[in-house]
Amino acid sequence: MENIKPKTWIELSQENINFNLDKFRNRVGEQVKIMGVVKSNAYGHGAIQVARMIEKKVDYFAVDSIDEALEIKNEVGGKPILILGYTLHDNLKIVIENEFEQVLANIETLERLKKESEILKKAAKVHLKIETGTSRQGIFQADIDQYLDLIKASNFLQLAGISTHFANIEDTTDFSFAMKQLDVYKKAVEYIEQKGFFGFLKHTASSAAAIIYPETHFDAVRVGISLYGLWSAPQTFVTSGQINNGFALKPVLTWKTIVAHIKTLPAGTYVSYGCTEKVEKETQVAVLPIGYRDGFDRKLSSIGEVLIHGKRCRVLGRVCMNMVVVDIDHLDDVQLEDDVVLIGPQYDEVVTAEEIAAKINTINYEVVTRINWEIERRKI
């Protein structure tokens, strides 16, 4: 295959991801396991690349689906892999054969796992997810007995973990609901232990909970968005500062492209589809070879900014499928194929995922996760 230089690419900082993981290790201590959550292409950062970057510093990989689990096992391996999302019953055999651990919250899946594990004569490790208030996956306490009875009746089902997930711990400074959830979880764990089950992994904390509340750490924490140097929400940053726990994060991802065309537009010229914007004076512009196909959101039309020569350059007109036009009239000596930063730092300036999220009324998670999977990710 030809060695083709890409028009757009992503750079991943090994130094910054190490910094973030070290912060979490210092926060939770040596006895608490860290699950590196690399689901959804590692929140857009590149699952394989990130897994390789963190494998020496995490105790588990956590993914959403069986295909993600297989990809991580085949390309990286070396750590237990927890599947957080739903697995189709026809694929549960693969879960058992590959020794993956499966989060589940319905009895039908557990029954099928029991059947498949007995056929294979091989252990099936399950993590029961307790419903504490998020109202997605989750087992109500009144239903726990039927799961425990099924596990007790099997020679191959193993209760490997008990988990839950907080509904409202990152985007608030009022943690009363999260503490109610924690109380429900603790009661469920106590009940399960009274039924004779011990040695399972207790885990409730996502990034925000791990940063803010030591009471949520238990045996393991699931570090997702903040592994990548992004705060779960502005409120998490505020709370972290208020409790003065010395926590800091460094973004891992920088998304780049190049200048593909330079031209000077006469005053009164419309730019891009729909004639939604025109330049009022003679204006030099640069055309970038990226667009919404790559994950540069169309809602950034006329309001997004990129960095060229360390200066902000505004998007002119509509973002297209494969092209974006930006104003470079305030810059000197822009050359064809100069680097352009779409997310990340350049010299003393930076475009953040949070800034983009605010402009298009979403969250930083979505901004990075929707970057096209096909774009090359490079460790630097």
User: Could you tell me where in the chain the CATH 2.40.37.10 domains are found?
Assistant: 253-351
For residue 84, name the pLDDT band (cuts at 50, 70, 90).
very high
Looking at residues 36-65, what average pLDDT do you find?
A: 98
Least confident range from 25-39, 242-256, 274-288: namely 242-256
pLDDT of 237? 80
- CA-wise closest residue to 129 among 227, 194, 222: 222
Residue 292 falls in the annotated catalytic set: no
Residue 242's pLDDT is: 72
Across the range 257-261, mean pLDDT stands at: 99
The helix or strand, by DSSP H or E, that contains position 208, with its residue range, turns out to be helix 207-212
Give the pLDDT score at 3.
86
Q: Would you state the pLDDT for residue 239?
A: 78
Which residue spans of the chain are classified as CATH 3.20.20.10? 14-232
| Residue 135, pLDDT score | 87
Query: CA 42 to CA 365: how far, in whole Å?
Result: 11
To the nearest whole percent, how much of the chain has pLDDT over 90? Answer: 88
Q: What is the pLDDT of residue 168?
A: 79
Superfamily of domain 14-232 in CATH is Alanine racemase (3.20.20.10)
Q: Of 39, 93, 114, 125, which residue is the catalytic one?
A: 39
User: How many Cα atoms sit within 13 Å of 177 on the Cβ side?
Assistant: 12
Indicate the average pLDDT of the chain: 95
Q: Is residue 273 annotated as part of the catalytic site, yes or no?
A: yes
The one catalytic residue among 122, 180, 263, 273: 273
Q: Among 2-11, 89-98, 299-308, which is the least confidently predicted range?
A: 2-11
Confidence of residue 318 (pLDDT cuts 50, 70, 90): very high
Reported pTM: 0.94
Residue 241: band (very low, low, confident or very high) from pLDDT cuts 50, 70, 90: confident
Residue 321 is assigned to a ligand binding site: yes
Instruction: For the chain, report the end-to-end CA distance as a whole number of angstroms.
Output: 23
Compute the distance between CA of residue 202 and CA of residue 61 in angstroms, rounded to an integer: 16
How confident is the model over 80-91, as a mean pLDDT? 98
Which residues in 135-172 are b (16+ Cβ under 10 Å) and which e? eebbbeeeebeebbebbeebebbbbbbbbbbbeebbeb
pLDDT tens, position by position, 173-219: 777 888 899 999 999 999 999 999 999 999 999 999 999 989 999 99
Q: What pLDDT score does 244 carry?
A: 59
- pLDDT at residue 325, as a whole number: 99
- Maximum Cα–Cα distance across the chain: 79
Residue 371 has pLDDT above 90, yes or no: yes
**Residue 53 is labelled as binding a ligand:** no
Whether pLDDT at 243 is above 80:
no
User: pLDDT-based confidence at 235, cuts 50/70/90?
Assistant: confident
Domain 253-351 adopts which CATH fold?
Lyase, Ornithine Decarboxylase; Chain A, domain 1 (2.40.37)
Position 11 scores a pLDDT of 99
